[in-house]
Chain A
Amino acid sequence: MKKNSNDSDSLLVEKVKEGNEGAFNFLMNKYYPRVYASLFSFTKSKEDSEDLAQQTFVKVWQQIQSFRGDSAFFTWVYRIAINLAKNYVASSGYKKQKVNSSIDQLEIDISSNENIESILIHNQSVDDIKDFINTMPESLKTAFTLRESEGKSYEEISIITETPIGTVRSRIFRARESIVDFMKKELINNE
């Protein structure tokens, strides 16, 4: 087991370097929401953010051999996203689009599940999720928060909460499942 969160992706990254597409897909699914949300904060455009997120992960796949592990994997991914967005914002196409957007109505194609990402744009939704987390049983909330907010390893959480590692793993999973269920029922369906 990994001893700290810093290298939590290192094994998967090594697998990606060996050409394991499954490992790449896992990392992409894991980080897509964070990359997308970050890009959206710049572009304020759903379509642009999707395009740039896609380009980001194409580059991650193409350049993975150059990732030396000096920083956390996500930091490296984030840098790629930033550079792509930076180039995009500086491009003439972006500026032209900004001018035209005041007169052209953007066509937004809403499919069944794409609001999954967009719910995070609304602060109210984030507040709702946080409120929900606060209603969770203390044991689940503590384990989840120590993991997600503090970046503690399962072993560290086990020591802090004086709980077996297996129980920590189970609590974090149950917390995630509860939050995901809440998001699906209360937020995504109401969009």
Chain B
Amino acid sequence: MNDIKEKISALYDGELDHNEIDDLLKIIDKNPNLQEQLSLYGLAGLAVHQDENNIVSIDSGNRENKSIFSNLWFSNGLTAAASILLTLFIINNVDISRMNISEDSTNKIASAINSKEAKDIAERSEEYLIDHILNVINDPNYMNTQETIDLRNVGFRHNVAGGYKYSNGNENFQLRVEKKNLGLKKIRYWKHGKKMIYVVPLSDGRVVTLYGNISVSSARNIAESLTK
């Protein structure tokens, strides 16, 4: 039986030889105890990840210890000012910085924010961000981009042996650059276990994500250096 369980453990990790999978699946299907064992493996892993699962968004007004997801869910229209700004750009194609406070512009803002289309767009941009953060958290390879960026001008060295990490003393992180705009107008950041996730919009329209042990000031410096 231990041989079967060891195979289950290997398949759980995606490491079982392909030609053994079908037979093992049939055995598990007939044995409720093995199915429970599999779920308990999942529980064991979840216990290890429990700290990391307790993700707290610290850039919104709400400082309660909600998970990142609940925070993002309920942030539409409440804390997602960036999404609303994006909505205005898309709906009205206006330059916010030149918009004077007038009845006309106020009406534009009101109609844009209240329109179903605007809400849908705002929600989509927020959902895109959720997808992005979920990938950062759940996919170990998502941040392992092949692209190498020289960050020595801000004091960080590239450390290939560490899984494409950049480091400077106690600070180390992974970096990923999106060529598409995620609908951000300001830095968004979250605490994920002991690590931080920074999503920083760049002036050239790209978005950089930094994930690791790094301060917000370092994250900002790095982001600024990418557009120089």
Contacts and interface: CB of A to CB of B under 8 A. Distances in A.
Contacts of A152: 140
B44 A180 contact: yes
Interface in A65-79: 71-72, 74-75, 78-79
B26 A22 contact: yes
Contacts, number: 172
Contacts of B89: none
Chain A interface residue bracket vs B: 35 or more
B69 A42 contact: yes
Given A126-B47, A177-B5, A150 B26 contact: no
B11 A26 contact: yes
A3 to B, nearest CB: 10
B17 to A, nearest CB: 7
A31 B35 CA distance: 12
Interface residues of B, number: 48
A145 B21 CA distance: 25
Interface in A143-191: 144-145, 147-154, 169-170, 172-173, 176-177, 179-180, 183-184
B59 interface: no
Nearest to B26: A22
B122 to A, nearest CB: 14
Nearest to A24: B25
Contacts of A130: 47-48
Interface stretch (B130-138, B196-204, B211-219): B130-138
B134 A78 contact: yes
Contact of B13 (A20, A129, A172): A172
Given A5-B140, A75-B134, A120 B40 contact: no
A184 B36 CA distance: 11
From A25, A117, A180, residue with most partner B Cβ within 10 Å: A180
Interface in A114-131: 116-117, 119-120, 123, 125-126, 129-130
A10 B11 CA distance: 11
Secondary structure call for the A interface: helix
A41 B21 CA distance: 34
Given A1-B15, A5-B140, A33 B48 contact: no
B28 interface: yes
B21 A11 contact: yes
A23 B18 CA distance: 13
B89 to A, nearest CB: 25
Contact of B42 (A23, A33, A113, A145): A33
B43 interface: yes
Given A22-B26, A71-B139, A82-B130, A173 B14 contact: no
30 contacts: A2-B15, A6-B142, A7-B14, A12-B11, A12-B21, A15-B25, A29-B39, A29-B42, A30-B38, A32-B39, A33-B46, A34-B46, A38-B53, A41-B69, A41-B70, A42-B70, A42-B73, A71-B135, A72-B138, A75-B139, A82-B73, A119-B43, A120-B43, A129-B48, A147-B13, A149-B48, A169-B10, A176-B41, A183-B40, A184-B40
Given A152-B140, A183-B43, 17 more contacts: A1-B15, A8-B13, A12-B21, A15-B25, A22-B29, A26-B28, A33-B39, A33-B43, A37-B53, A42-B70, A71-B134, A71-B139, A78-B138, A125-B47, A169-B15, A173-B6, A176-B9
